[in-house]
Amino acid sequence: MNSRWGFFKSITVRNQAQPQLFPSISSPFSRGILGVVLGITILAGVSGCTPPELPENEVTETQPAPEEEFDNSLTLDDVTLEQANEKGELLWRVQSKQASYSKDNRIAKVTKPVGELFRDGKLLYKVQAEVGEVYQDNKRIVLRDNIVATDMDQGLVLRGNFLEWIVDQEILVVRNGVTGEHEDLNFLASEVQAFNREKRIEFWNQVTVNVKDPVVQLRTDHVIWEWDQEKLIADRRVEVDRYQDETVTDRGVAGEAIIDLKTQFADLKKNVQVALSEPPLQIASNQIKWHYEDGKIGSPQAITIIHREEQVTVTANQGWGDLKEEQFDLVGNVVGIGQKRQSQLNTEQLTWSVSQQQFQAQGNVVYRQIDPPLTLMGDQAVGQFSNDTIVVSRGSSGGQVVTEFVP
């Protein structure tokens, strides 16, 4: 038996004078399907790792509509349900192998649903599931088990075990072991909320996002994907791994991060630590800007760089480095410490060749060494951290005085 059930303007029970488009269909469910359109408010605040709350009468994946609410006498096979707006534009359409209706005529329970979700008549998503419910009063569609939702604009395919479409807000929620596939990235999450009007998708709880080219992985509990801006935003602790030939080469940890997929640029903030394999450096700052594909890294704030093998630590007010050239430029209160010989270099500017452990220092250079005790001062210096060889010069104004120490 084929039947088409209209929602909203398609089949109308009128609170005010309205045209009735399909008067020949007279099911109790279809007569009661208009109801009052409820306003739906999404709470904007988020706390911890908890997604923002949806409407108070939200149906969860663990609370399907009770069986006793349904009247088995109101069951039809091969049913198409749909709803249109005031302009006659489709809001959604659901085809079902079988549909049964609640005793109060406000819920349709559907089997093997295949649906289409629209905005202003334009197709946004195609969805399918094993079972589901269509709710009249709060204008929602809930689908369960083996969910597949395809974003027709972005080509994003979401899979999970619970889906909710909030019609008036155009918000799609997928929960319970969510995976997603896209040409630019794929991901895992406990919950996904897609805000179509704002052009963003939020991933919640135990989130892993894999960017495909270049290969970068994010791990955190909340990621916002602004797909129009091509940005990933993590607003809490996040780990960022850079891969080369399926091997992690570099890793960053931060309190928050913005990843620009177009420019391949990561802006890491709050207690940032970046560990690099080549050269073998540990970099720390409260903000690190990392062009992970071009191999550029640095900070406009206080920065600490540790060479793990040579046991050299350099700090400065700010600094920038070219990882391919293995060279750093540091400025402002620069301090270089060599652990092997307990030596310290203070200066205003430092150019450091990491691979050769050579440096050039300019401005108020002070070099100190414990064994044997030695202090050298000058305007500029060149030397090596690895063997503490240093040449300090007082410059032309100081009479070309040069002091050289070779241990």
pLDDT value, residue 343: 86
* 120 Rama sector, left if φ>0, alpha if ψ -120 to 50, beta otherwise: left
* Strand partners for 203: 192, 223
Distance CA 364, CA 366 (A): 6
Question: What is the three-class DSSP state of 90?
Answer: strand
Token couple for 283: 């970099």
DSSP code for 387: T
Question: What is the three-class DSSP state of 301?
Answer: coil
Q: Which of 58, 371, 97, 48 is nearest to 222 (CA)?
A: 48
Beta strands in 182-299 (DSSP E): 185-195, 200-211, 216-226, 231-234, 238-244, 247-254, 256-260, 265-276, 281-291, 296-299
Stretch 389-403: mean pLDDT, rounded?
A: 64
Q: What is the mean pLDDT of the chain?
A: 81
pLDDT value, residue 195: 93
Amino acid in the structure at residue 287: Q
DSSP code for 396: G
DSSP code for 47: B
Distance CA 166, CA 120 (A): 15
Torsions phi, psi of 341, nearest 5? -115, 10
Which residues are CB-neighbours of 166 under 8 A, at least 6 positions away?
Answer: 40, 54, 55, 139, 140, 172, 173
**Which has more confidence, 319 or 245?**
319
Torsions phi, psi of 96, nearest 5? -140, 145
* Angle, CA 242 vertex, CA 281 and CA 207 arms, to 5°: 125
* Strand partners for 201: 194, 225
pLDDT value, residue 229: 93
**Which has more confidence, 71 or 253?**
253
pLDDT value, residue 324: 92
| Span of 42-56, 242-256, 310-324, 373-387 with lowest mean pLDDT | 42-56
pLDDT digits (tens, 9 = 90+) for 267-300: 999 999 999 998 899 999 999 999 999 999 999 9
Helix (H) or strand (E) holding 294, with range, is none
How far is CA 400 from its chain centroid?
57
| Span of 84-88, 182-186, 370-374 with lowest mean pLDDT | 370-374
Q: Is the pLDDT of residue 392 over 90?
A: no
Q: Which of 219, 199, 221 is nearest to 211 (CA)?
A: 219
Q: Is the pLDDT of residue 1 over 70?
A: no
pLDDT digits (tens, 9 = 90+) for 157-182: 999 999 999 998 899 999 999 999 99
pLDDT value, residue 67: 56
Q: Is the pLDDT of residue 93 over 70?
A: yes
- Whether residue 372 has a cis bond before it, omega within 30° of 0: yes
Token couple for 76: 């039809």
Q: What percent of the chain has pLDDT over 70?
A: 78
Q: What percent of the chain has pLDDT over 90?
A: 56
pLDDT digits (tens, 9 = 90+) for 187-241: 999 999 999 889 999 999 999 999 998 999 999 999 999 999 999 999 999 999 9
pLDDT value, residue 63: 56
| Span of 1-10, 148-157, 267-276, 311-320 with lowest mean pLDDT | 1-10
Could you count the other beta carbons within 10 Å of the beta carbon of residue 242?
A: 23
pLDDT value, residue 298: 95
Contact 299, 289 (CB under 8 A): yes
- pLDDT band, residue 390 (cuts 50/70/90): confident
pLDDT value, residue 139: 85
Q: Is the pLDDT of residue 23 over 70?
A: no
CA-to-CA dists, residue 134 to 33, 83, 112, 166, 293, angstroms: 10, 11, 13, 11, 47
Token couple for 169: 């807000």
Which residues are CB-neighbours of 406 under 8 A, at least 6 positions away?
Answer: 389
